């Protein structure tokens, strides 16, 4: 796409940042685990299990039950997880309050948006389409888009390039240690939401700012990037 190096680029994580997806992810996890003869996982465990992608979610759920399985069986469970998840991807998932309004405000100041998630690209795009905001993002990067997951900085840096942005005018917005580590490695400021999926308060991981509602994002972002009109 055309480059926009002078405009601010806001790169968002997805699960736990833009959208509360725990219900559908944990519901899919239970469907797979119970089908394999394992116990279900309490929804309240979502904050400590989510954030690293579906495969890691299964591994973490198994570990919570002191279980290990052969790699081949894990890959079969992972494939079934992805297939089932797409059938209910937005049954219970919702954008967090204020997301659309914050995007509108930032866009009025010339902001450009992208997503960099450890979710696989296909369901990430499908979810954003179902939630009605896919067309707001110049680029959507999933864990498999470049074959490298966060916290490696490569997917973030390549997302910035693909969205036509400038790393010096980019902010990462996330909810976890992974997002903060990714931004730090890419030398990008990071704003963390405190309502996402993390087993410890996200402030403990040292983001540049913490917000509790998306209405706070434009002012927080302005501390790092001066707006430029489109």
35 domain residue, yes or no:
yes
Predicted local confidence at residue 45, as pLDDT: 79
Q: Last residue of some domain: 42, 68, 87? A: 87
Catalytic residue numbers? 13
pLDDT in tens, 42-67: 887 777 788 777 888 899 999 988 98
Query: In the predicted model, what is the mean pLDDT of the chain?
Result: 92
Predicted local confidence at residue 227, as pLDDT: 59
pTM, entire model: 0.91
Write out the residue range of the structural domain in which residue 101 sits: 9-20+93-222
pLDDT-derived band at 225, boundaries 50, 70, 90: confident
CATH of the domain at 137: 3.40.50.1000
Predicted local confidence at residue 229, as pLDDT: 53
4 domain residue, yes or no:
no
Domain count, the chain: 2
**Three-state SS letters, the chain:** CCCCCCCCEEEECCECCCEECHHHHHHHHHHHHHHCCCCCCCHHHHHHHCCCCHHHHHHHHHHHCCCCCCHHHHHHHHHHHHHHHHHCCCCCCEECCCHHHHHHHHHHCCCEEEEECCCCHHHHHHHHHHCCCHHHCCEEECCCCCCCCCCCCHHHHHHHHHCCCCHHHEEEEECCHHHHHHHHHHCCCEEEECCCCCCCCHHHHCCCEEECCHHHHHHHHHCCCCCCCC
Percent of the chain with pLDDT over 70: 96
pLDDT-derived band at 1, boundaries 50, 70, 90: very low
Q: Last residue of some domain: 40, 64, 87? A: 87
Predicted local confidence at residue 79, as pLDDT: 94
pLDDT in tens, 122-177: 999 999 999 999 999 999 999 999 999 999 999 999 999 999 999 999 999 999 99
Same domain, 103 and 217: yes
Lowest mean pLDDT among 2-6, 35-39, 98-102: 2-6
Predicted local confidence at residue 188, as pLDDT: 97
- Within 8 A by CB and 6+ apart from 34, the residues are 40
136 domain residue, yes or no:
yes
Same domain, 44 and 130: no
Same domain, 64 and 138: no
Same domain, 119 and 203: yes
């Amino acid at each position: 796409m055309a480059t926009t190096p002078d405009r601010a680029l806001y790169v968002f994580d997805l699960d736990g940042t833009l959208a509360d997806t725990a219900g559908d992810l944990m519901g899919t996890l239970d469907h797979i685990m119970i089908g394999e003869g394992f116990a279900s996982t309490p929804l309240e465990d979502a904050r400590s299990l989510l954030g690293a992608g579906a495969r890691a979610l299964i591994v973490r759920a198994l570990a919570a039950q002191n279980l290990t399985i052969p790699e081949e069986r894990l890959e079969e469970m992972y494939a079934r997880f992805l297939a089932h998840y797409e059938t209910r991807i937005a049954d219970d998932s919702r954008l967090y309050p204020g997301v659309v309004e914050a995007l509108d405000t930032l866009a009025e100041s010339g902001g450009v948006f992208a997503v960099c998630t450890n979710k696989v690209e296909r369901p990430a795009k499908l979810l954003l389409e179902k939630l009605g905001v896919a067309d707001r993002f110049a680029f959507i990067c999933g864990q498999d888009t470049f074959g490298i997951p966060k916290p490696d900085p490569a997917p973030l840096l390549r997302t910035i390039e693909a969205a036509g942005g400038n790393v010096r005018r980019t902010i990462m917005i996330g909810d976890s240690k992974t997002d903060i580590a990714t931004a730090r490695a890419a030398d990008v400021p990071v704003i963390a939401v405190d309502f996402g999926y993390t087993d410890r308060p996200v402030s403990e991981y040292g983001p540049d700012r913490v917000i509790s509602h998306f209405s706070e994002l434009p002012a927080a972002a302005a501390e790092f990037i001066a707006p430029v009109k489109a």
